[in-house]
Amino acid sequence: MANEFASLQGLPTSLTQGKVYSKMKPVSTGVDLPASQNDREYKSVYEDKKMVVTTKGFTIFLSLSPNADFDDGLNKGQTPPTYFKFTVGESPTYSFFFGDDAPSYTLLAGSVIVDKISIDQKKKEYIISLEGEDRTSPSIVIKNGKLSWKYADENGTNGFMYQDSMSNYPSVLYSVAPYNQKTVTKLRTQMEEDSALLMTMITDMNTVGEGVYIWKAEKIGVHVTPQSFTFDKSLEKEFLLPSKVDYAKITNLDTKKSYIQFQCVMSSMRTDTYTGYDKADPSIYMTTLQFPGDEAKLAPMGTSKDGTDAACGMDSAEGRVLKSITPVVVDNSLISVKLDFQDGSFYEFPHPETGEFTATDKDTGGLLQGTVQNLIIANGKWLDAYTSECANRIARNTNDHLTIQGDDEVLTSAIAWRTSQWVKIIVPTKSGSKLITIPKRGA
């Protein structure tokens, strides 16, 4: 099956050219395909911000072509098109084709592993950070398709040799094969003693089942897509927008039996109605919202029927605000909600990048904004739940210094009121509220 998918992507499923030297021993068999394109997209913040991935298992491939000018002349055209595989937490490998029977070979010593992979879409730059026993292995950098790597120098010191572009010749990368201490020493010694005899050294290596591969260090393909992030839920949530949803295929919520509820954790954008204050924990501003219910007092900032920004349901008559609610449930978790309004507008939340809910307070005109937490479909009568929550908001907003209490119960929240004979006023003090009684004139 992997071979079939490889063919569909235009990837090789067998050795198409070049040679595998007899002393090269595979470290594994079966090479998974590079991530293909799908409908997922990166969050827009990463158009300018670098993505840094340290999650084990995250993988990218680099595809390198033979440098025909050098490979044909020095190496008898023995270099195949090659795919470097870098997986965080594993040692780098390379292969020449894909499929269940494709062998992989060590690119570096087994003690060297991929520590992290950085992706800068704006600069078109990819950095593979390596970590060895001495923690000094230099990173591999691909920028605008060109490879640079301080580990590969002109003298082949570490078994890799790099020559920068000159006149009409592109940059070139050499590697000994198989990669081990013996072959690394051969290349380094030859370059130190007489680099002009490099071809002779390669011929000698071939007689014992060893050799050299020679690639272009330019026009390198980088195989990484949004699909590369989907193997890990936390990684997917951090870097990718949610999958596009066809709401027409999703059943609307039965609001006679259920309702949407969540906590909105606010910072500076709060309103007089939705303060988020709770005397039990004044360090956080959080309010519980629900739909149906809060559409009576809130107009979510969504999209009008004409496709423009709109405060949804702002001018709708009471009791005729919401048209329908469509919940999106994945793996038994509610991940997003679409609210359709009678005026033709709609609102989807949480925001796919910020995770926020934003709405205008219909009474005050103030803007409420906060992070959505604990988004659920609750069972029961929404009106009962909403009535209870409105009472809870009043209780949480009650200021002890401005309230008369007895036996831990609120007796009144009035600041001043009149009777037939008296004017009564609550005065806040640091030790609690005090009641002052003033007789009316003529009383």
Q: Are 13 and 109 in contact (CB under 8 A)?
A: no
Which tens digits make up the pLDDT trace of 261-310? 999 999 888 887 898 888 778 888 999 999 999 999 999 999 999 889 99
Q: Lowest mean pLDDT: which of 43-52, 358-367, 391-400, 409-418?
A: 409-418
Alpha helix (H) residue ranges in 194-299: 198-207, 233-239
CA distance 30 to 33: 10
Q: How confident is the model at residue 408 (pLDDT cuts 50, 70, 90)?
A: low
Q: Lowest mean pLDDT: which of 89-103, 359-373, 421-435?
A: 421-435
Burial of 351: CB neighbours in 10 Å, binned 0-12, 13-18, 19+: middle
Q: Please give the pLDDT value at position 414.
A: 47
Question: Averaged over 397-411, what is the pLDDT?
Answer: 58
pLDDT above 70 (res 80): yes
CA distance 407 to 390: 23
Q: Please give the pLDDT value at position 271.
A: 86
Q: Please give the pLDDT value at position 394.
A: 75
Question: Averaged over 405-425, what is the pLDDT?
Answer: 61
pLDDT above 60 (res 391): yes
Looking at per-residue pLDDT, the higher value among 348 and 436 belongs to 348
Question: Averaged over 135-159, what is the pLDDT?
Answer: 91
**Mean pLDDT for all residues in the chain:** 88
Q: How confident is the model at residue 437 (pLDDT cuts 50, 70, 90)?
A: confident
3-class SS letters over 319-374: CCCEEEEEEEEECCEEEEEEEEECCCCEEEECCCCCCEEEEEECCCCCEEEEEEEE
Which tens digits make up the pLDDT trace of 327-339? 999 889 999 999 9
Q: How confident is the model at residue 19 (pLDDT cuts 50, 70, 90)?
A: very high
Q: Please give the pLDDT value at position 392.
A: 84
Which tens digits make up the pLDDT trace of 162-211? 998 877 788 999 999 999 999 999 999 999 999 899 999 999 999 999 99
Q: Lowest mean pLDDT: which of 65-79, 207-221, 238-252?
A: 238-252
Q: Please give the pLDDT value at position 321.
A: 94
Q: Please give the pLDDT value at position 420.
A: 62
Burial of 10: CB neighbours in 10 Å, binned 0-12, 13-18, 19+: exposed
**If you ran DSSP here, which 8-state letter would residue 289 be given?**
E
Residues 6+ apart with CB under 8 A from 80: 15, 16, 17, 18, 19, 20, 66, 96, 213
Q: How confident is the model at residue 399 (pLDDT cuts 50, 70, 90)?
A: low
Question: Averaged over 422-432, what is the pLDDT?
Answer: 64
Q: Please give the pLDDT value at position 433.
A: 64
Interior/surface letters 189-225, b for 16+ CB within 10 angstroms, e for the rest: ebbeeeeeebeebbeebbeeebbbbbbbbbebebbbb
Q: Please give the pLDDT value at position 89.
A: 95
Question: Averaged over 212-229, what is the pLDDT?
Answer: 94
Q: Are 300 and 347 in contact (CB under 8 A)?
A: yes
Q: Please give the pLDDT value at position 443.
A: 42
CA distance 228 to 217: 24
Q: How confident is the model at residue 1 (pLDDT cuts 50, 70, 90)?
A: very low
- Cα angle 83, 86, 90; round to 5: 130
Q: Please give the pLDDT value at position 411.
A: 55
Q: Please give the pLDDT value at position 418.
A: 65
